[in-house]
A and B are shown apart, each in its own frame.
Chain A
Amino acid sequence: MNELKCEQCGHVNPYGTRLCQACGNPLDEKDKEAAVIDMRYEGVARRSQTYNKTFVDKIWNFFSSVKVGISIIVLTLIASALGTIFPQEMYIPKVVTAAQYYQEEYGVLGQIYYMLGFHNLYGSWWYLALVAALTTSIIIASIDRFFPLYKSLKHQRVKKNAAFMKRQRYVGKEEVDNEDAVLEKAKALLLKRRYRVREEEGNLLAEKGRFARWGPYVNHIGLVLFFTGAMLRFFPGMYIDDSVWVREGDTEVIPGTNGEYFIENEKFVMELYDEEDETFGKAIERAGGMVVQNFQTDAVLYKRKDDGTVGTDPELEKVKEDEIRVNHPLRFNNFRLYQSDYKLNELNTMTFSLRSRESGEDIGTMEIDLFDPESEYDLGDGYKVVVNSYFPNFEFNEDNEPSTKSSIPDNPAFIFQMITPEHPDEGEYSFVGIRRNEDVFGTNDYEMKFAGAEMKNVTGLTVRKDLTLPFIILGASIFMIGLIQGSYWSHRRIWLQRINGQVWVAAHTNKHWESLKKDLGVLSAETGLQAHENEALLLNKKGKN
């Protein structure tokens, strides 16, 4: 590839350079004829503008194009929005299958939505591919521009030639009597306005806010880190999303901790706002009465002391106590336990008494732990109750036989075998459930009488470990820093050059020209050196309007 020698100053520029990196002279035919030169990236040679031969070049050029980048952003935007037309699968009720749900709720459109896989859009391969393409594009576009731009701005010379100056958006020429004095004054003024001013052969370059130019690159690095962090979730061990239900008074092992940590629920409470409350009373009434003020689990965290041999009861050591509330998870190591669900007044034990129908006399009572019923309860004197069958959540199944829906005692029912002195061998059978008490085989001498129940609250805790968080936090922070850096400052330059016995002024900024105009206004008021919007540019504009 040919190197380009500047015909004005002799500087040798790499192939693809559009503005001489020493004096700013336009090297490209297009720029030579332009009223205003394209100052983007200082006219520096970028890889993507220079090579287009190999396959790698083509990929590189594709992803470094901002047009392509914007297209990917817009596609991601449209895809994201599509996912909100109907709820995502994770938000639909779990009782029916997804296929059924979308069809029943949303008809044909719902069916199409489901068939296209939009019910799980954000986890789909093509959505992830979009994010991957976005990340690739950001990386390549940034590398393509950052290094040449950085070099160019770092090595920029103060002295510029006339061709460069007169093709700036703001320019002016002034005959002045005492060039030295005027330039000296201009320098002092610009220094006061916090420009950094450099001098070369009596010419000046005043520059301010160059670091804002790096803002986009910093924010892009932040984005890349963020997306990388988000992808790390798919590595095993980085992310745990589990849950555990704990009844009051119980201790359960915390899933994901290899049986090392245990959590005890000492007490679970749900508190409501006072309906008589002076400030909130009216709003509570509008909400139809109950408004929850607090969900709270008084929890104790334990660590296993022994090596955890299977079958042995674990030996536990208390680590800490905490009140787990919504917005206040319990933290240990990399884990958090969140208050996320609850069940009030779950049946825990039921008490029955064995009663003689004839005399009405209670023979004895027995308390059944609904989570761990014994197989028989000996009441003494030849009286014994055998738990023949237990249905924690009773229903009649399809064959009309008694069965259970789950192992949670939401609707417990029993078939008891009552062994009494009168019926010592076979006993009598009794079927007892909530609001039902039947003889299985007709008339019994004895019956099982419900005598009471004990209820407990159950807390549902989400167990979460997320080792990607540090990446996410770092990425987001770097992104914000870069964003602020690039948005709240701008890079401004003013060139003051002695050309043909005149003083020429030219100015450039990458954004927010009004602020630069203010600086130019002050400059002209104080020194008489004026810069106006380039006349050629103004003519162009008039033509267009």
Chain B
Amino acid sequence: MGSINGSLLLVAFFMYLLATILFAVAVMGRKWRNKEGEVTGSRWGKIGFAAAIIGFLFSVGYFIARWIEAGHAPVSNMFEYTTFLGIALSFAFLILYAIYKTDVLGMFTMPVVMLIIAYASVFPTEVAPLIPALQSNWLKIHVTTTALGQGILSIGFAAGLIYLIRTLDFTKRSGKVFWLEFIMYSLISLVGFIVVRYLFKLLDYEAVFQYVDKEGQEGEMVYHLPALLGPHQGELLTSGAMEPLLNLPAWMRSDDANTVIWSLVMGLVLYFIIRLIGRKPIGGMLQPALKGINPDTIDEVSYRAIAIGFPVFTLGGLIFAMIWAQIAWTRFWGWDPKEVWALVTFLFYAAYLHLRLSRGWHGEPSAWLCVIGFAIIMFNLVFVNLVIAGLHSYA
């Protein structure tokens, strides 16, 4: 990574970490009382907000520096796009915090911002040249606006999650508790993924396989994690590297599948360690910290985030996308998987808004919908990008 933009992003990352801590203190720190005995949590929250703003400014610095270095807006590969999504999320948080001043939102979104930025840096970070189809201002406008829209919609998810943790009954086993724990587990798996990737990056781990692909051609595949799942008819070329437990059929991307398995396993390990220490569902561990939060307010925050994010997403993900497609691909709509999933996202949030406004779905059902919406966004970002390769695939 270029030195200047890399350092700016690193500083931003640590500012977000600082903000996380400050917001956590603001939410949980009942000890901090002023002379009158009042809880002064929100003062810590204000400092946290300042840290978040500074972090955001540094990440904008990263964006500009990298733009200058590359000569084009840095949103054209997986690393750049994902990093931008993290920045967009932090910006979306700033907007919502300015309206509602909810510290708990910072406690939840700031770590997610960090996770996204860390996840981004797993992808190749060098500046890549633009192929002709990507040389368009409309593309940049489309991508940045979409990311911003997705960032704001994700705040809806964060608030929905807070609502669920705040209101669910964790003392009983139930489907709801199971699914909430499943969300926590998914987030932890992301942590697990980042941890193992960095670990083996530090060790410079590499295992080269010779394998036979779908068309029957021989090729080489490089693994950066020990291969639990090897490629089709894979033969390990690197000495000292681990032999795979199982070789996959040719139609699967075995290196990606291997990474997924690693994250899921690491997630499981981390999850059970946490459960062993806490001795109750993770949601139940967090719940006491959220006692002071008014569920109605956080419910409204989630709706507000979606009301703000939906037009931005529509503009970026559909309208600007159509303008770009009309210029670059000769037609404004082509039913490419990525396009279709943007449409699915749009229809989903349209359904959400109608359920909420006209059918009175507030509170818990609304919160679950926010979770599903976020899952759709992530599906589009990760799965459609990496697996169903279409026009938009960066990989």
CB within 8 Å of B: which residues of A?
A: 40, 66-67, 69-70, 73-74, 76-77, 80-81, 83-84, 88, 90-91, 122, 241, 273, 277, 279-280, 282-284, 286-287, 291-295, 325-329, 336, 338, 340, 462, 464, 466, 469, 472, 476, 479-480, 483-484, 487-488, 510-515
Contacts and interface: CB of A to CB of B under 8 A. Distances in A.
B153 to A, nearest CB: 13
Contacts of A69: 354
A269 to B, nearest CB: 12
B61 to A, nearest CB: 19
Contacts of B124: 283, 286
A83 to B, nearest CB: 6
Nearest to A279: B127
B132 A284 contact: no
Given A80-B344, A487-B307, A512-B300, A462 B330 contact: yes
B129 A291 contact: yes
Contact of A511 (B307, B341, B350): B307
B69 interface: yes
Contacts of B350: 73
A511 to B, nearest CB: 7
Interface in B325-341: 326-328, 330-332, 335-337, 340-341
A283 B351 contact: no
Residue with the greatest number of chain B CB neighbours at <10 A, chosen from A90, A325, A472, A487: A487
B129 A293 contact: yes
A69 to B, nearest CB: 7
Nearest to A273: B129
B327 A327 contact: yes
Contacts of A80: 340, 343-344, 347
B1 to A, nearest CB: 11
Nearest to A468: B332
A487 B136 CA distance: 30
B300 A70 contact: no
B71 A279 contact: yes
Given A77-B351, A80-B344, A511-B303, A484 B359 contact: no
Given A472-B332, A511-B307, A514-B304, 9 more contacts: A73-B354, A80-B344, A84-B340, A91-B390, A122-B335, A277-B129, A338-B330, A464-B331, A469-B332
Nearest to A86: B388
Contact of B300 (A122, A340, A513): A513
A327 B327 CA distance: 5
B132 A293 contact: yes
A187 to B, nearest CB: 27
B344 A286 contact: no
Contacts of B308: 487-488
Interface stretch (B48-56, B178-186, B314-322): B314-322
Interface string B111-146: 000000000000010111101110110000000000
B32 interface: no
Contacts of B60: none
Contacts of B327: 327-329
Residue with the greatest number of chain B CB neighbours at <10 A, chosen from A279, A287, A340, A479: A279
Contacts of A480: 311, 314-315, 319
Contacts of A336: 330
A241 B341 CA distance: 25
20 contacts: A40-B358, A80-B340, A80-B343, A84-B337, A84-B340, A84-B341, A91-B336, A279-B71, A284-B129, A293-B132, A326-B328, A327-B328, A328-B327, A329-B330, A340-B330, A464-B330, A480-B314, A487-B307, A487-B311, A512-B304
Contacts of B127: 279-280, 283
Contact of B311 (A74, A291, A472, A484): A484
B100 interface: yes
Contacts, number: 130
Nearest to B379: A81
A483 B330 contact: no
A66 B132 contact: no
A61 B152 CA distance: 36
B138 to A, nearest CB: 8
A488 B331 CA distance: 31
Contacts of B296: 513
B174 interface: no
B387 to A, nearest CB: 11
B277 interface: no
Contacts of B355: 70
Given A480-B319, A514-B297, A283 B128 contact: yes
Interface of B: 69-71, 99-100, 124, 126-129, 131-133, 135-136, 296-297, 300, 303-304, 307-308, 310-311, 314-315, 319, 322, 326-328, 330-332, 335-337, 340-341, 343-344, 347-348, 350-351, 354-355, 357-359, 384, 388, 390
B329 to A, nearest CB: 8
Contacts of B300: 512-514
A40 B336 CA distance: 40
A294 B130 CA distance: 10
Contacts of B69: 279
Nearest to A145: B358
B351 A73 contact: yes
B340 A483 contact: no
Given A84-B340, A326-B328, A76 B347 contact: yes
Contacts of A241: 330-331
Nearest to B337: A84
A81 B340 contact: yes
Nearest to B350: A73
Contacts of A122: 335
A66 B331 CA distance: 33
A280 B70 CA distance: 8
Given A291-B131, A327-B132, A70 B354 contact: yes
Nearest to A479: B314
A476 B319 contact: yes
A90 B331 CA distance: 14
Contacts of B388: 84
A280 B77 CA distance: 13
B326 to A, nearest CB: 8
Given A279-B127, A513-B300, A514-B297, A326 B351 contact: no
Contacts of B311: 480, 483-484, 487-488
B330 A81 contact: no
B91 to A, nearest CB: 17
Contacts of A512: 300, 303-304, 307
B351 A70 contact: yes
B269 to A, nearest CB: 32
Contacts of A74: 347, 351
B132 A292 contact: yes
Given A66-B354, A73-B354, A480-B315, A294 B330 contact: no
A283 B132 contact: no
A83 B330 contact: no
Contact of A292 (B131, B319, B348): B131
The 5 closest A-B pairs by CB, nearest first: A283-B128, A326-B132, A77-B347, A66-B358, A280-B129
A276 to B, nearest CB: 12
A526 to B, nearest CB: 21
A257 to B, nearest CB: 17
Contacts of A282: 126
B131 A88 contact: no
B64 to A, nearest CB: 16
Contacts of A287: 128
Contacts of B326: 469
A77 B344 contact: yes
A88 B126 CA distance: 34
Contacts of A70: 351, 354-355, 359
Nearest to B334: A90
A511 B132 CA distance: 45
Contacts of A329: 327, 330
A73 B347 contact: yes
Nearest to A122: B335
Nearest to A76: B347
Contact of B129 (A83, A283, A464, A510): A283
